[in-house]
């Protein structure tokens, strides 16, 4: 949980790379990659179970999401190292900069979507653990959390459109616009809302598939 929460905390600042500066972005990227490796070491049994058991619709969705996320999180540091101007300058591959930049842009925004969706797919297990630590279920707490999540999700739709994230996901725009007059907090808040939006999409996709096949 500590590793997963740390990755979620790092994600919005990483998306704000121009607002934080290149040096900070590169070190945060290294931290994210290290956490991702640690996450897979801690969950290494998942690889052994890939060819075992029956694949339900939920398991298939989760596995496809995880494999896409794995490929994405390999592409990010590789393209990042190729573009590095500070930490990995010795490994900088100047001739491949244009390709690396395109791959990094695509992987960054798809990573945002896939990581959030992945978190949502496992939201039920996380909530069950939190309920256990909070000494059981509370109807009032559940309603309050759902209302808060819905509000954040609606904000996420607005932020997704306002930040034109769809144009970066499908390379309709290859140059990310940053408003340097806007406080960093506003940028981070928008991206947290977008993360909640896709986490909700993952959570309710899993619930819908379970209901259809129950």
| Structure confidence at residue 132 (pLDDT) | 65
Q: Indicate the pLDDT class of residue 1, thresholds 50, 70 and 90.
A: confident
Of all residues in the chain, the percent with pLDDT exceeding 90 is 57
CA distance 211 to 115: 24
Give per-residue pLDDT as tens, 145-162.
888 888 999 999 999 999
Are 120 and 198 in contact by the 8 Å Cβ rule? The answer is yes
Q: Indicate the pLDDT class of residue 91, thresholds 50, 70 and 90.
A: low
Enumerate helices (H) and strands (E) in the chain, giving the number of each. 10, 0
Give per-residue pLDDT as tens, 156-209.
999 999 999 999 999 998 888 888 888 899 999 999 999 999 999 999 999 899
Q: What is the 3-state secondary structure (H, E, C) of 102-144?
A: HHHHHHHHHHHHHHHHHHHHCHHHHHHHHHHHCCCCCHHHHHH
């Amino acid at each position: 949980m500590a590793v997963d929460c740390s990755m979620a905390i790092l994600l919005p600042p990483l998306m704000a790379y121009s607002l934080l500066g290149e040096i900070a972005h590169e070190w945060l990227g290294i931290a994210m990659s290290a956490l991702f490796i640690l996450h897979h070491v801690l969950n290494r049994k998942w690889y052994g179970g890939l060819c075992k058991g029956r694949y339900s619709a939920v398991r298939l969705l989760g596995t496809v999401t995880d494999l896409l996320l794995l490929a994405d999180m390999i592409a990010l540091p590789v393209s990042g190292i190729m573009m590095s101007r500070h930490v990995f300058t010795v490994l900088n591959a100047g001739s491949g900069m244009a390709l690396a930049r395109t791959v990094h842009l695509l992987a960054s925004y798809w990573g945002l979507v896939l990581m959030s969706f992945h978190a949502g797919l496992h939201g039920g297990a996380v909530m069950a653990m939190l309920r256990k630590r909070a000494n059981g279920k509370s109807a009032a707490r559940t309603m309050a959390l759902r209302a808060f999540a819905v509000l954040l999700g609606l904000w996420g739709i607005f932020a997704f459109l306002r930040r034109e994230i769809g144009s970066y996901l499908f390379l309709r725009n290859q140059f990310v616009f940053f408003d340097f007059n806007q406080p960093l907090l506003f940028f981070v808040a928008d991206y947290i809302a977008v993360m909640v939006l896709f986490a909700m999409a993952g959570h309710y996709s899993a619930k819908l598939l379970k209901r259809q096949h129950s």
